[in-house]
Amino acid sequence: MERKLLHLYDDAMNLYGEYANVSLLARYLTDLGHSVRVETLSLYEKKDISDYDFYYMGAGTERRQKLVLPQLLQYRETLLEAKRRGAVLLFTGNAFELLGSAVTDAEGKRYDCLGFAGFESNETKRRITGDVIARIGDERVVGFMNKCGHTTGVKQPLFHVEFGFGNEEACGDEGWRDGNCFGTHLTGPLLVKNPSMLRRVAKALLGDAFTDTVQYPYMQRGYEMTLSELTKRMEALK
């Protein structure tokens, strides 16, 4: 069976080269023996997006986030139905904020979002940047964060941050997850930096058809080196 992957607004929300998340996932699924097709939905393009197995959106500037939002809202019911049927949705960077109920910009203007959960994001004029170590279950992930606000009201966080900033505070909960829907401010790109997250997303997508038979040694080595250096920085600050 062919697995269909859709990169939403790759032309507008690709601040950190996050097309690599989709490219790597497609390669991994192919190496696992699955047929894969990757497609994109560009800004202002209109098409049927109802039958994909994986939906991805990456980070953009605050201006581009607001530019994309009304286009994205046209597909709200389609994406909600995709979530209900178990398709995997991964939104990284400030695309994550669009999964919540609203974003309020630094001037106080409120933008209604997809409303998949009740959390809200409030922008400030202070930018929060830096590397992050976070934990999901028994696994640790690394990434980079560049945001200008706080996300409040998350009841089902994806990660717990050990080093760096979470949704609301330093070393707090970060991101959001509901079933196969994942949202996080972490970029990097996330799946390229973290072999365990690549496997986690692939397993969510493939279900019982997932077999962990492919390893990428250089990717694993890069992750271990990054985690080691960030752990040293974390320990030095204690």
Residues 31 and 228: their CA atoms lie apart, in Å, by 28
CB 94 within 8 A of CB 185: yes
> Could you tell me where the DSSP H helices lie in 129-236?
190-193, 195-206, 217-236
> What's the pLDDT score for residue 158?
98
| pLDDT beyond 90 at 238 | no
- Residue-wise pLDDT for 73-124, tens only, equals 999 999 999 999 999 999 999 999 999 999 999 999 999 999 999 999 999 9
> What's the pLDDT score for residue 237?
87
| pLDDT beyond 90 at 1 | no
Give the chain's mean pLDDT: 96
- Residue-wise pLDDT for 196-225, tens only, equals 999 999 999 999 999 999 999 999 999 999
- Residue-wise pLDDT for 175-188, tens only, equals 999 999 999 999 98
Give the count of beta carbons closer than 10 Å to the beta carbon of residue 33: 10
> What pTM value is reported for the model?
0.97
- Residue-wise pLDDT for 132-161, tens only, equals 999 999 999 999 999 999 999 999 999 999
Residues 83 and 180: their CA atoms lie apart, in Å, by 7
> What's the pLDDT score for residue 17?
87
CB 56 within 8 A of CB 21: yes
Task: For the chain, give the percent of residues with pLDDT over 70.
Answer: 100
135 to each of 1, 43, 192, how far by Cα in Å?
33, 34, 17
Strands (E), the chain: 2-8, 35-41, 54-57, 88-92, 102-104, 110-112, 120-136, 139-152, 159-163, 173-174, 176-178, 181-184
> What's the pLDDT score for residue 131?
97
The distance from CA 229 to its chain's CA centroid, rounded to whole angstroms, is 23
> What's the pLDDT score for residue 16?
85
| pLDDT beyond 90 at 63 | yes
Residues 93 and 75: their CA atoms lie apart, in Å, by 20
